[in-house]
Amino acid sequence: MALSLYLLTFNCGRALVQPDSFAPYLFQALKPNAPSPEVLVLSLQELAPIGPGLLGGSFITPYYNAFRKVVKLASKDHGYVNVITRNIGLTAIMVFARDDVADNINWLHTAEVGLGVSDMGNKGAVGIRLGYKTTETEEVVLTFVAAHLAPMEDGLEQRNEDYKNIVRRLVFIPDASGKPISRGEEREDAPLLQSPIPPHSEESGIYSSSSHLFFAGDLNYRTSSLQPSPLDAAEKFPQPTKDEDNPRHFKHLLAEDQLTQEIKAGKTLHGLTEAPIEFPPTYKYDTDPNKAVTLDGEDEWHWARHRWPSWCDRIFFLSNDDVTVDAHTYTCLPLFATSDHRPVALAATVPLRSSRTADRVQEPPFSIDPQWRAIRAAGRRKELIVGLAAYLTLTREGNGLALATVLGALGGWWIIRSLLMV
């Protein structure tokens, strides 16, 4: 017996996804006539503009609702229940369960870590750990992490450091009562000021002897440490061709992938596995805003000439000889007009038995940072300040609110002044 999973990672470009355009391709990684997966996980980066993203709560609800509509439109033989949604800044994770198995999810843990400037959530990772009931007395534990690491060609060392900080500071704990979060107890539009992290709770990082682990996101590893030259763009940027001997075939560039090299050197994503990459780079495309969807084979690939085409968007998993993840399809979706990234999807199954039975367990490469609570709390305070400033200055709604506040203050001052002069 196995549990079917479908994971998708997408950098949304800080724009609302277009459900009618996206939905027909959501399950493109499924084989023809395959049943709907039992668990669907969306890893989303740059979900919203920086103001709403850092403020969170109801400010980003419209962006979540757009993906809920995508899932609803894409579903055929079954519907889905959005069992939990969480974000840290602009990075979010949405977990859906097929309607006929949603009650099998017994409990949920959440975790988050800021990786951006001053440990804020302009970059970061958010995790969900859940218990999936297999019998009345047994369950399978699954851990899903959505991440967005440091950008730019020369940011290699910072990306490795970001993963280290995820291992050290993305910590799962029960809620303040000491119990796991039950499915459906919390909403994504929770208060902007989050509840304090309980100081005396059992801590667990992303590596757990009792859990499967899936790690997905815009990991931002590139195919060069330097920016491309005009000659590079003209001669080395890949174009559609089935001839692997053609120098413009993407596999020549894939050989330069930083992430593959760093994993082999033991510098990041320790113990994690990826299915073979058989798809073109997922970043950075020069999109046509007038074309909602661009399919492979319709045109040449149009790249932004100041960035190397790279496989930034990836999905990894923890697997060993005892408890395996069966990866069925690993591919990218079409290019959508709202983003310069292509989504990446993985269809897989995991055995319906606990990973505790594995003889060999991947040990965490780094220990938990004892200061992780204080670092996250300080980062959250800064997020609220920066998010509010960005919302008031960079959005139409915020501009209106700021203007109304100024006019109200001036009006109040004028009334008080008039009363004092009587």
Contact status, residue 9 vs residue 216, Cβ threshold 8 Å: yes
The class of domain 2-421 in CATH terms is alpha beta
Give the residues across from 90 on adjacent strands: none
How far is residue 67 CA from its own chain's centroid? Answer: 13
Residues 6+ apart with CB under 8 A from 226: 153, 154
Residues β-bridged to residue 214: 144, 317
pLDDT digit string, tens, across residues 315-344: 999 976 667 899 999 999 999 999 999 999
CB 17 within 8 A of CB 59: no
Q: pLDDT tens digits, residue range 232-282?
A: 999 999 999 999 999 999 999 999 999 999 999 999 999 999 999 999 999
Helix and strand counts by DSSP (H, E) for the chain = 9, 14
Q: What is the pTM of this model?
A: 0.91
pLDDT tens string 359-378 = 567 899 999 999 999 999 99
DSSP SS3 for 390: helix
User: Could you give the CA distance from residue 188 to residue 203 in angstroms, rounded to a whole number?
Assistant: 23
pLDDT in tens, 106-156: 999 999 999 999 999 999 999 999 999 998 889 999 999 999 999 999 999
Q: How would you class 73 by CB atoms within 10 Å of its CB: exposed for 0-12, middle for 13-18, buried for 19 or more?
A: middle
How far is residue 156 from each of residues 55, 130, 303, measured CA to CA in Å?
29, 32, 21
Are the beta carbons of 154 and 226 closer than 8 angstroms? Answer: yes
Give me the DSSP letters along 29-96. Answer: TSPTTPPPPSEEEEEEES-S-HHHHHH-GGGGHHHHHHHHHHHHHH--SS-EEEEEEEEETTEEEEEE
